[in-house]
Chains A and B, each alone.
Chain A
Amino acid sequence: MRGEPFAAVGAAIYTVIVIMALFAPQLAPYDPREMLRQGRRIARYLPISSEHWLGTTAGGHDVLSQLIYGARAALEVGLTAAIAVVAIGTLLGLLAGYLGGWVDKLITRIADIALGLPFLPFMLVLAALTTPGTRVVIVTVALLLWPNTARVIRSQVLSLRERAWVEAARVTGCSTARIMFVHVLPQVLPLAALYGSVAIGWAILAEAAASFLGFGDPESISWGVMLQDAYANQALGRGAWNWFTPPGLAIVLMVLSGFLVSRGSEKLLFPKLAEQ
C-alpha cells in the first residue's frame, strides 16, 4: 500500500481534510454563521481580500470559514455513512457467503429489492417523509448501497470457506459463529475497508445533490449547502467564482481521494468482475 503513489496522494488529501475538521475553530478566521457588517450595512459579496481570503457570501458570511467548517459536515456524513454501508454489507455478505442455503437466497433477494430502488428519488421521498437532513442521507446510503459491498464480501467468503485452516477450525469444534467472526471476518476486513473509502465519496455526493434540490439539512454548513446557497443567490450571474468554486473543488478532492486510496477502484465500482 505504501508503494502506491495514488494511495499516498489520496491519504494526504484525507489528512488535510481531517485536520481542517478537527481544528476548524482555530483555523477559521471568522464564525461561519456570523453575519458580518460593514458599518450599518451587511458585508455582502465582498471580493477576495486580505481580510477575506475567499470573500463573503450574499448573506455576509465569510466563505473561507464556511469552507473549513464544511469539512466537519463532510467527514460526519461520509464516515457515518461509510461505516454503516460497510458494517451492513460485510455482515450480510459474511452470513450469505458462509451459511449459504436459504440465508444466502434471502439476503440476495433483499439485495435485489434494494438495487431496484432508484437512489436519488428514494432519498427525496424519504427526506420529505421525515425531516430533510444528514440523517436521511446516511440512512439512504446505508439502505441502498450495501448490496455491492455484500456481493464482493460474499464471493471472497465463498472462496475462503474452502481453505484448509477453516476446515481445521471446524474439525476442532469451533462454533460456526466463532469461525465466521473470529477467523473469516478479519480476512475480509481489508476489502471492506477499501469499499468504505469509496462509500465516503458516494455519501458526500449524495448529500450535495440532496442539498442542491432543497432536501438537505438547511441548518448545517456543508459544502453541498454552500453550493445551494450560491446557486440560489445567483452567484454565477454575479461572477462570484470565489464563492462557487471552492466548495465544489473540495467535494471533488475528497471524493477523489477516496477513489485513489482504494487501488483497484475499478473492480469495486463493478463487483461482477470480482465474481469471475
Chain B
Amino acid sequence: MKRLCLSVTFAVLSAAASAQEPGDAIRPITLLTQPQAAAPQEYQAAEVIADAWRKLGLTVNVRPLPGQQFNQVIWYERQRWDATTWQMVGRPERSDPDELTYNLFVSANAANGYDFVGYKNAEYDKLAQEQREELDLDKRKALIMQAQELINHDQPYGFEVHPFNVVAYNKTIWDPKSMISQAGIGIRSTWTWLNITPLGTQKDVILNSVAPPTNLNPFNISGQQGSWAAEIVWDRLMRVDPEGLPKPWAAEKVERPDATTVNVTLRKGMKWSDGQPVTIEDAVFSLVAPGYGDKAPMYKPFVGNIAGVEATGPDTLTIKLKKPDAAFLVSSLSKLNLAPKHVWQPIFDDLKNKPQTAESIMEEHPVSSGPFRIIKASLNQEIVLEANPDHWSHPKIHRWIMRIMPNVEASMGALKSGELNFLADYTGDPELLKDLAKSSPNIEVSQALDIGFKFIAYNERRPPFDNLAFRQAISAVIDRKLLAEDAWGGAAEPANSWISPALGVWHAKGIVDRVPGGNVAAAQKILKDAGFVLVGNVLHYPKGEKETTEPFH
C-alpha cells in the first residue's frame, strides 16, 4: 500500500517531465505448476521463466498444486488463475494437425472446452474451420501455415519446447535394424512391435510403463501407455504410417469420391480371436456404436461428423459425412477400433437403461482381431499380450509384456539387470540414460522429436494477459534454448508452434526464430511502446489503468 502511494506520488510529480504516466502496479502473478516430483522438468522450466519475468519488473510466485487440485483449478475455475504450465502429448492420431489446431484455439471452446486460455479471434476461427474442410493438400498446408503465423503474432501461449522421446533397448536381444521410427513418436511405435526381430533365444518384448492403464477396451481411450497395448490388440480400418500419413490397414482400399463420402473395402479373411470371421457388419458397427447415446463418451466426438454408415456389399461400406473433413482418415478411421458386433451389440443393448458406459466393461477374455491378443491384464502390475499367428502381419516375437513400474530409478535398473529389455517409458533425466548406455555396451538409446509440446498458458480473462503487447513481451524473455539444454537436459527443441517439426509437412519452418527468446531488452521495448511503465523495479499498467483483479490465493 505504501509502495503504491509512493509510486503514484512519484509518478504525479514527474508527470510534467515524462509523457508516460503509470497506472496501478501490476499485482503479483502466480504461475501454477504440477509438483516437482510429478514433473521435475516442467517445474524447473517454470522457475527459470519466473526468474526471467522478474527481470521485467513483475512479482512472480511459482505455485505447485497437486494433481487433482491442479486439474480442478485450471479446468473448472477459469476466472481464478493467471498462468500455468501445461503440455500436449503426442499420439499417432495427432499426426494430422486438425485435432489440436481446432480444439486449442477456437473461441467456441473457450467456456468449457480445450481453449481454456480464453483466446478469441474470429480470423483464427475462420482459418481453423477452413482447414478442416479443405481436401486439397497444398491449399490446406497454406491455411495451416497462416494459422501458425497468426498464433505467433498473438502469443496466446508461451511455447517452451518440443520434447524428445527417449527410449532404450538391449541391442544384443533385438536387432537395431528392425526398429521402425514413426514421425513424432520414435521407435516405440506399433510398427516396431510388428517388426522387431529377436537376435537370440529371447522372443518376448518386456517393456515398462510408468502409469497403469485404466482399462483395455475398444471403446475406451486408455491413457497414453494403455493405448500402446490397445493399438496392437484391436485393429482399425487405417493406420498412421511411419511418415505420418494414413494408410489402409484392416481396409484394402479407402476412396474419397467427393468431399463428404468415404468408400471402404474391407480386407478379406480376418478373424476374431474367438474364431468368428470379421464381417462388414462388424466394421459398420464399430463406426456407429460410439455414437449410441452416451455409452462411449470419449470416442463419441470422433464419430460426431458421421451422418450414416451403410454396407454396400459383402466387403464394402460407405460413410456419409455431415461436413467435409480433411482429417477424417487420420483422426477417425485410424483411431476407431474394430470391435466384434456379436460381443458388443448385446452389451450396448444391456446398458441402455443403466448408468454405466461401455467404457467400464472389462471383458473376461477380450475378443479382438489385431496382431496381438490379450492373455493377461492385471492393470496395476502388468499386461501380457501374445502374438496372433493368424494375422496377416503377424509379429516376429512371441509375447509383448508391459510391466507397470512407477519408479524411474527402478526401471533403469531393471533394464540394466535384464528384467526389462525395452525401456519404453522414460520420464527421467536423459543424461542418466545416456551414461548408462556408455557403461553398458548392450544398451542402445534412441531419441526422436515428439509430436507434442510444452508451454505456459496465459489466461486472457485476467489482465494484463489480455493485453497483446504484454503477452508478446513475456514470451520474448523465455529462453527456450536454455530450457531445452538445462530443464530438459538436452532432450528437447525450442518451440513456437503447436505443430512439431516432427510433422515436416505441416510445421512452419523457422517459426521459432520469429519470436524473440531470452531477450530482455526486446521485451522491455515492447512493454514501453505499449505504455507499460517501470517505476523503480516494479512494472505498472499504462496510464489510467487500474489493477482490479484479485491475486491468486
Direct A/B contact, Cβ within 8 angstroms? yes
In the complex, A232 has a CB within 8 A of chain B: yes
Contact among B38, B43, B409 with A214 in the assembled complex (CB-CB below 8 Å): B38
Contact among B66, B409, B412, B482 with A40 in the assembled complex (CB-CB below 8 Å): B482
Which residue of chain B has the shortest Cβ distance to A61 in the bound complex? B47
- Minimum C-beta distance from A195 to chain B (A): 32
- Say yes or no: B36 contacts A42, CB within 8 Å: no
**Which residues of A in the span 192-240 have a Cβ within 8 Å of any Cβ on B?**
214-215, 218-219, 228-229, 231-234, 236-238
Proximity string of chain B (421-438) to chain A, C-beta cutoff 8 Å, 1 when within and 0 when not: 000000011001000000
Contact A42/B409 with A229-B36, A238-B432 known, Cβ cut-off 8 Å: no
In the complex, A246 has a CB within 8 A of chain B: no
- Say yes or no: B47 contacts A41, CB within 8 Å: no
- Minimum C-beta distance from A241 to chain B (A): 14
With a cutoff of 8 Å between Cβ atoms, the chain B residues found around residue A59 in the complex are 43-44, 47
- Minimum C-beta distance from A270 to chain B (A): 35
- Say yes or no: A41 contacts B485, CB within 8 Å: yes
Contact A234/B428 with A58-B40, A214-B35, A218-B64 known, Cβ cut-off 8 Å: yes
- Say yes or no: B409 contacts A218, CB within 8 Å: no
Q: How large is the interface on B (under 10, 10 to 19, 20 to 34, 35 or more residues)?
A: 20 to 34
- Say yes or no: B486 contacts A132, CB within 8 Å: no
How far apart are the CA atoms of A132 and B44 in the complex, in Å? 21
In the complex, A169 has a CB within 8 A of chain B: no
- Say yes or no: A44 contacts B486, CB within 8 Å: yes
In the complex, B353 has a CB within 8 A of chain A: no
Contact among A41, A42, A229, A237 with B428 in the assembled complex (CB-CB below 8 Å): A237
- Minimum C-beta distance from A43 to chain B (A): 10
Which residue of chain B has the shortest Cβ distance to A238 in the bound complex? B432
- Say yes or no: A234 contacts B429, CB within 8 Å: yes
In the complex, B13 has a CB within 8 A of chain A: no
Which residue of chain A has the shortest Cβ distance to B518 in the bound complex? A40
In the complex, B68 has a CB within 8 A of chain A: yes
Which residue of chain A has the shortest Cβ distance to B44 in the bound complex? A59
Which residue of chain B has the shortest Cβ distance to A213 in the bound complex? B37
**Which residues of B in the span 487-537 have a Cβ within 8 Å of any Cβ on A?**
none
- Say yes or no: B64 contacts A219, CB within 8 Å: yes
**Which residues of B in the span 36-70 have a Cβ within 8 Å of any Cβ on A?**
36-38, 40, 43-44, 47-48, 51, 63-64, 66, 68-69
In the complex, B288 has a CB within 8 A of chain A: no
| Number of A residues, CB within 8 Å of B | 23
- Say yes or no: A234 contacts B432, CB within 8 Å: yes
With a cutoff of 8 Å between Cβ atoms, the chain B residues found around residue A44 in the complex are 486
**Which residues of B in the span 185-226 have a Cβ within 8 Å of any Cβ on A?**
none
Which residue of chain B has the shortest Cβ distance to A33 in the bound complex? B47
Which residue of chain B has the shortest Cβ distance to A59 in the bound complex? B44
Contact A232/B412 with A35-B47, A132-B66 known, Cβ cut-off 8 Å: no
Contact A231/B37 with A35-B48, A35-B51, A219-B64 known, Cβ cut-off 8 Å: yes
Which residue of chain B has the shortest Cβ distance to A233 in the bound complex? B40
- Minimum C-beta distance from A209 to chain B (A): 13
- Minimum C-beta distance from B222 to chain A (A): 23
- Say yes or no: B409 contacts A128, CB within 8 Å: no
In the complex, B408 has a CB within 8 A of chain A: yes
Which residue of chain A has the shortest Cβ distance to B407 in the bound complex? A231
- Say yes or no: A218 contacts B51, CB within 8 Å: no
- Minimum C-beta distance from B30 to chain A (A): 11
How far apart are the CA atoms of A131 and B64 in the complex, in Å? 11
- Minimum C-beta distance from B508 to chain A (A): 27
How far apart are the CA atoms of A218 and B485 in the complex, in Å? 25
Contact among B36, B66, B486 with A41 in the assembled complex (CB-CB below 8 Å): B486
Which residue of chain A has the shortest Cβ distance to B68 in the bound complex? A128
With a cutoff of 8 Å between Cβ atoms, the chain A residues found around residue B64 in the complex are 218-219
- Minimum C-beta distance from A77 to chain B (A): 19
What are 28 A-B contacts defined by CB distance under 8 Å?
A: A40-B482, A41-B482, A41-B486, A42-B44, A42-B48, A42-B486, A44-B486, A58-B44, A58-B429, A59-B44, A59-B47, A214-B37, A215-B66, A218-B35, A218-B36, A229-B37, A232-B38, A232-B40, A234-B409, A234-B428, A234-B429, A234-B432, A236-B409, A237-B409, A237-B429, A237-B432, A238-B429, A238-B432
17 extra interface residue pairs, beta carbon distance < 8 Å, beyond A214-B66, A237-B429: A41-B485, A41-B486, A42-B44, A42-B486, A128-B66, A128-B68, A215-B66, A232-B36, A232-B38, A232-B40, A233-B40, A233-B429, A234-B409, A236-B409, A237-B428, A237-B432, A238-B432
Which 6 A-B residue pairings sit nearest by Cβ, starting from the closest?
A232-B37, A218-B64, A42-B486, A232-B40, A237-B432, A234-B428
